[in-house]
A and B are shown apart, each in its own frame.
Chain A
Amino acid sequence: MAEANTSSRTRSRRSNAQNRGKSGSRGPRKTPEKPRQAAPKAADKPATETAEKSAFDPIVFSRDEDLKAYREMLLIRRFEEKAGQLYGMGLIGGFCHLYIGQEAVVVGVQFALKQGDQVTTTYRDHGHMLATGMEPRGVMAELTGRRGGYSKGKGGSMHMFSREKNFYGGHGIVGASVPLGTGLAFANQYRDNGAISVTYFGDGAANQGQVYESFNMAKLWDLPVVYVIENNQYGMGTSVARASATTELCKRGQSFDIPGHQVDGMDVRAVKAAADFAAEHARSGKGPIILEMLTYRYRGHSMSDPAKYRSKEEVQKMRTEHDAIEQVKQRLLGEHKLSEDEVKEIDKEVRAIVNDAAEFAQNDPEPDPSELWTDIYVEA
């Protein structure tokens, strides 16, 4: 993992985190330990600027890796756009939280995982499911509440699971997925199966008490868990700075001796590099680790978002200057020398997959009324 080009501030933080609790070298400290003088807090800066910090240098992606990243991120974006459209048509009900803007996080992390590693997250979960390889048809049909959905139409947007793909939900209560993901890691350690658990949550959940209860046990027992905080700058309509006493969420493990790193979550290569490092950390028995992904959601919190809490300019700036998919597209067209037509061909394929999923999700029948009474208990 190269360290060039990272700011010395982030590097010193990372080194400290990595070396904490070990004998020997400590990372360089740039900040002397004297009383701080009204240094500008990260929180005081516009959210858009913080996303430029990265503890991990983007690694170089091969042509194939960029192609795969492009394809997968684009699938999530097109899928979510279609979901938004179906919601507008009244075909999807209830809550629907779109992942548009954050695609690089799940795609980059998934690149670092091995067969058997588990993933769990809160309710902005469609991207995670597609990234783990779950079928777009099954996900979309769950959104429309049809029998072909992953939960037979009984879970909806926030509650989907796939044992086959090791996706353990999809949980509707902010913060609740953190003990659950920690429990999956506990099971891995109990069985000594070499798998790790990737537990995603947002900046909003990062203030929940059960997150810290989990951190404590995870470090106490050195459980193989990677906590990925998707800091998209807003918990619903409340910015991180307005909700959190400390805004560098990667440091939230400090009192438990859990190392944490801040990552440019808009750059899939930086995400992959960080996830590689974190997965290795957890898998090698060093215990939990935190990755704070600085990311951004372009759409509202859910479909009924008033969009009053941030400016259109802020959103537009992220879209035009930091978009994760556009970055990869430029590499494909530039260094990987794909033609515009070749890229368009991928777009077309992705669109076809999404249209097929939407088609299926609209035509698949609703669950049989008898399903009301099934799956409450497993037959003993």
Chain B
Amino acid sequence: MPTEILMPALSPTMEEGKLAKWTVKEGDEVAAGDVIAEIETDKATMEVEAVDEGTIAKILIGEGTDAVKVNTPIALLLMEGEDEADLREAGGARKSNGAAHPNGDAAEAAPAQGEAKAASEESESGKLGRADGPVSVLVAMDKAEPPEEPEVPEGTEFVEQTVREALRDAMAEEMRRDGEVFVMGEEVAEYQGAYKVTQGLLAEFGARRVIDTPITEHGFAGLGVGAAFAGLRPVVEFMTWNFGMQAMDQIINSAAKTLYMAGGQMGCPIVFRGPNGAAARVAAQHSQDFAAWYSHVPGLKVIQPHTAADAKGLLKAAIRDPNPVIFLENEILYGQTFPVPELDDFVLPIGKAKIARKGGDATIVSFGIGMTHALQAAEALAEEGIDCEVIDLRTLRPMDMDTVIASVKKTNRCVTVEEGWPQSSVGSFIAAELMAKAFDWLDAPVLSVTGKDVPMPYAANLEKLALPSAKDVVAAVKAVSYAD
């Protein structure tokens, strides 16, 4: 029976890629380690190596094919002792052993090997599963009811863009606009960004303004703060926010507090940005949501966008803001596509929530990747006759509680959704605010859907259990609605 060679994943979060080139043809003999193909994603290019020895019997996906899903069979390999007859026999039951593995320079800190299988299992795990949800559901939503964009003038054209591209465009536009804006961080320049968010910036703005730093978060965060004291506008990228903890003292004690300690004399116009929260299968030290941590601190503004449009409009606002801004991105969202308004200067107000979906039965409040679960749950609940209003906070500090309270006064029920841990979470703050300011309107206790109160496990099944899911949100909304 021929062996299937599967489309490999370049990184834990890759869902599809382009089969750029075959370096073998049908009939070629290959040995383990031979390069057989090249694969491209928007992040990187890699070579695919044969894992087993044999003959390339059939190429199933032609070169140049875009959007090949991870784990799709791309070729068939005949092993020693197998022949054309085996190939013909092999109708339905091919054996698949993931006979290729990535040999590329994977963009992420974590190696990519062996992720494909888990990803495929996840994608088949039902409509509330994590891996396949976001894109399809959002596309469906766009068709049903486009989200309101009150900041966008009527008649504006939209382009489809990934969050990654939107963030890059935001930085590039602000750098064109203001010569005192610069970007610094690990691998932001020549490597083009560990997650390719700064792709192309070095070419346009040069090494003076796009600066690769050594791996010294505490040091370069402090250096950025000093430069901001002098009036420059640094955009400091942390490769992930997990590493930003090294710089916590400079972020809190220097960036956030100096304006106050200086009696208003000296502010700190800086943006700290980077991916936050769980990616996929990178375990406890690389999977943490810092939303609650930073939103605790007066002097900081904290933004955690979900869509590409919000990422763009809010990052531009953050760079222009004269205060230190914590900008929490998400690796899983980077590759997702959303409509982005085609405007010369699309800037969104910081501190303004957005009603992502209108409804009257219950309010779901979330932000960042939590919106994925919130919107999926709302979709599922709608089918069962529960019509949810979904609020995307977008900014966590200052928090737009007015929008939340107005919605809860209408629905009388509220569920919050976030990836972070339950104790002292963003959701517990919202619950406390609602209790104080909308007590008489609540028909049920406010429930918070959060990550579980454990460090992030590595094993695929445990990781899934640790993260909040649309299923959890559905259950919580039903609980506050006293439905089944």
Contact = CB atoms under 8 A, between A and B. Distances in A.
A254 B446 CA distance: 59
Contact of A176 (B229, B249, B269): B249
A179 interface: yes
Contacts of B229: 168, 180, 183-184
A216 B350 CA distance: 36
Contact of A161 (B213, B219, B262): B262
B471 interface: no
Interface stretch (A19-27, A207-215, A237-245, A342-350): A207-215
A305 to B, nearest CB: 24
B241 to A, nearest CB: 19
Contacts of B224: 183
A187 B231 contact: yes
Contacts of A209: 218
Contact of B218 (A150, A155, A179, A183): A179
B220 A213 contact: yes
Interface in B179-219: 180, 182, 208, 213-214, 216, 218-219
B321 interface: yes
Nearest to B226: A183
A378 B267 contact: yes
Contacts of A159: 258, 261-262
Interface in A166-208: 168-173, 176, 178-188, 190-191, 197
- Nearest first, the 6 A-B pairs at minimum CB distance are A183-B226, A179-B222, A213-B219, A187-B230, A152-B263, A151-B263
A163 B250 contact: no
B263 A375 contact: yes
Given A153-B263, A168-B266, A183-B226, 17 more contacts: A150-B265, A152-B263, A154-B263, A161-B261, A163-B265, A169-B258, A169-B262, A173-B253, A173-B254, A179-B218, A179-B222, A180-B225, A217-B216, A375-B259, A378-B259, A380-B320, A380-B322
Interface of A: 118, 120, 149-155, 159-163, 168-173, 176, 178-188, 190-191, 197, 209-210, 213-214, 216-217, 220, 374-380
A190 B182 contact: yes
Given A210-B219, A374-B264, A375-B263, A183 B350 contact: no
Contacts of A178: 222
A197 B223 CA distance: 12
B301 to A, nearest CB: 7
B202 to A, nearest CB: 16
Contact of B225 (A160, A161, A179, A375): A179
Contacts of B208: 190
B321 to A, nearest CB: 5
A155 B299 contact: no
B260 to A, nearest CB: 5
Given A151-B262, A169-B258, A217-B214, A118 B225 contact: no
B298 interface: yes
A176 B250 contact: yes
Contacts of A151: 261-263, 265
16 contacts: A150-B265, A151-B262, A154-B260, A159-B261, A161-B258, A168-B230, A176-B222, A179-B221, A182-B222, A183-B230, A184-B226, A184-B227, A213-B220, A217-B216, A376-B299, A377-B259
A149 B263 contact: yes
Nearest to A379: B322
B219 A216 contact: yes
A372 to B, nearest CB: 10
B400 to A, nearest CB: 15
Given A118-B230, A162-B265, A376-B260, A183 B225 contact: yes
B261 A179 contact: no
Contacts, number: 154
Interface in B329-384: 350
Given A173-B253, A179-B250, A377-B259, A214 B231 contact: no
A180 B254 contact: yes
B407 interface: no
B61 interface: no
A168 B301 CA distance: 23
A168 B266 CA distance: 8
A74 B317 CA distance: 49
B216 A187 contact: no
Nearest to A188: B230
B448 interface: no
Nearest to B324: A377
A170 B223 CA distance: 16
Contacts of A169: 258, 261-262, 266
Nearest to B260: A375
Nearest to B268: A378
Interface in B133-147: none
A374 B299 CA distance: 11
B249 A173 contact: yes
Nearest to A215: B219
B232 interface: yes
B298 A376 contact: yes
A152 B264 contact: yes
B228 interface: yes
Contacts of B301: 377
B323 interface: yes
A192 to B, nearest CB: 10
A380 B321 contact: yes
A176 B252 CA distance: 11
B183 to A, nearest CB: 12
B364 to A, nearest CB: 29
A159 B228 CA distance: 17
A159 B264 CA distance: 12
Question: Which among B253, B254, B267 has the greatest number of chain A C-beta atoms within 10 A?
Answer: B254
Contact of A180 (B222, B269, B321): B222
Question: Which among A171, A181, A197, A380 has the greatest number of chain B C-beta atoms within 10 A?
Answer: A380
B226 A210 contact: no
Given A151-B262, A176-B254, A377 B227 contact: no
A161 B261 CA distance: 9
Nearest to B184: A186
B375 to A, nearest CB: 30
B226 A182 contact: yes
Contacts of A182: 219, 222-223, 226
